[in-house]
Amino acid sequence: MVDDYQPSSEQTLDRDCMTLSRHVLLQLQSFGPDAQDLSALMNRIALAGKLIARHLSRAGLVADTLGFTGRTNVQGEDVKKMDVFANDVFISVFKQSGLVCRLASEEMEKPYYIPENCPIGRYTLLYDPIDGSSNVDINLNVGSIFAIRRQTGDDLDRSAADLLTHGRDQLAAGYILYGPTTVLVYSIGHGVHSFTLDPSLGEFILTAENIQLPAHGSNYSVNEGNFWQWEESIRDFTRYVHRHEGYSSRYSGALVGDFHRILFQGGVFLYPGTVKNPHGKLRLLYETAPLAFLAEQAGGQASTGTQRLLDVVPTELHQRTPVVIGSAEDVALVESFIQERLREQEAIAAPS
């Protein structure tokens, strides 16, 4: 038996003990009730990620995981079996949390209320359960996007009107990227941090802390197949990157993976308005606002092209916004083309 035992300074042991719930408490420098709530909420998000990752790892081997359900969601999109499974996972893990009264999802026209948690549960989860689900059937990365907001008022009429506020009201935001590894990236307003799932432990382990989005990057990520549907300003930006050295086009068709690349390598992702979706395709409350929260926390920027994205106040739950997000310099470059065209239009409209 050794007296005054000195534990070995085994780095990996310390690293493996930096779990998500502990990290949240350290971030908040508090063990108070609010900190405990956020820690418990993030732990539930992690559990949902593990359950979805496990299901995805068997997609194609287990009957009824791939393909379509034959239904369409509130967006008018074909619902894939994986969308429904992932949507139900989040409902199940938060039912048992006691903390969340409402869940608002891309897959549900109205928020789902967990009766046993209402009105005690003071938090709302907004989420896109599987973003980029068309990638599931071809074994490419997909993601879940989430935001946590505090419920204000009792919402007795179940209109969830208190959710229609700017993105600066988000308490926490992040995503889970299901790729070669499963990665959970989150922020509770104290920087952006990344955790990697260690399947042998069943824990998300801290692998990148205080991530800084580079001021500029070579990646530009946009669906150029929409070129004919864009405003001239976006075409101007595209022609600029085509004609200048140092740019690479990277687009996977799944927002989470495309954003993750920008977060770590820099550059800009954009989904502007199109003829088909004049206000953009992506949804504010559970796609662009959570990522905008992360981008700004990591030193980047996020706008609609003309307005800071976190300032946008939605008028309805599934509101879409155009999005330009990533490195500050590259977001500014896109915005400069938009401003240039606006000035030209104003000059033409101005009385001679």
Residues that bind ligand P6P (CB under 6 A): 131-132, 134, 223, 253-255, 281
Looking at beta carbons only, is 262 or 312 nearer to ligand P6P?
262
CB of 145 to ligand P6P, least distance (A): 9
Nearest distance from C-beta of residue 254 to ligand P6P, angstroms: 5
What stretch of H or E contains 346?
helix 328-349
Specify the residue, 47 or 309, whose C-beta has the smaller distance to ligand P6P: 309
Annotate 260-301 with DSSP letters as a single string.
Answer: HHHHHH-EEEEE---SS-TT-SSBIIIIIHHHHHHHHHTT-E
Query: Phi/psi of residue 205, each to 5°?
Result: -110, 135
C-alpha–C-alpha distance, residues 255 and 253, integer Å:
6
Q: Which tokens in the block code for residue 98?
A: 């006691």
CB of 82 to ligand P6P, least distance (A): 13
Q: Closer to ligand P6P by CB, 131 or 335: give it.
A: 131
Q: What is the CA 183 to chain-centroid distance, rounded? A: 12
- DSSP helix/strand/coil, 326: strand
Nearest to 171 by CA among 290, 26, 319, 299: 290
Backbone angles phi and psi of 279, in degrees to 5:
-95, 15
CB closer to ligand P6P, 223 vs 319: 223
Q: Write down the least CB distance from residue 286 to ligand P6P, Å.
A: 11
- To ligand P6P, the closest distance from the beta carbon of 284 in angstroms equals 13
* Cα gap 317→258, rounded to integer Å: 24
What minimum distance in Å lies between the beta carbon of 83 and ligand P6P? Answer: 10
Residue whose CB is less far from ligand P6P, 43 or 252: 252
CB-nearer residue toward ligand P6P: 224 or 340: 224
Of 127, 73, 77, 83, the closest CA to residue 104 belongs to 127
State in angstroms the smallest separation of the CB of 114 from ligand P6P. Answer: 26
Shortest separation between residue 106's beta carbon and ligand P6P, angstroms: 8
Helices (H), 10-95: 11-17, 20-28, 33-57, 81-95
Beta pairing class for 248-249 and 219-221: parallel
- The whole-angstrom separation of Cα 207 and Cα 179 is 15
Name the residue nearer to ligand P6P (CB basis): 244 or 276.
Answer: 276
What is the H or E stretch that residue 203 is in?
strand 203-208
User: What is the smallest separation between the CB atom of 283 and ligand P6P, expressed in angstroms?
Assistant: 8
The packing angle between helices 255-265 and 289-297, to 10°, is: 10
Distance (Å, whole) CA 258 – CA 206: 21
Q: With contact defined as beta carbons under 8 Å apart, do 67 and 80 qualify?
A: yes
Instruction: Tell me whether residue 240 or residue 251 sits nearer to ligand P6P (CB atom).
Output: 251
Nearer to ligand P6P, 203 or 287 (CB): 287
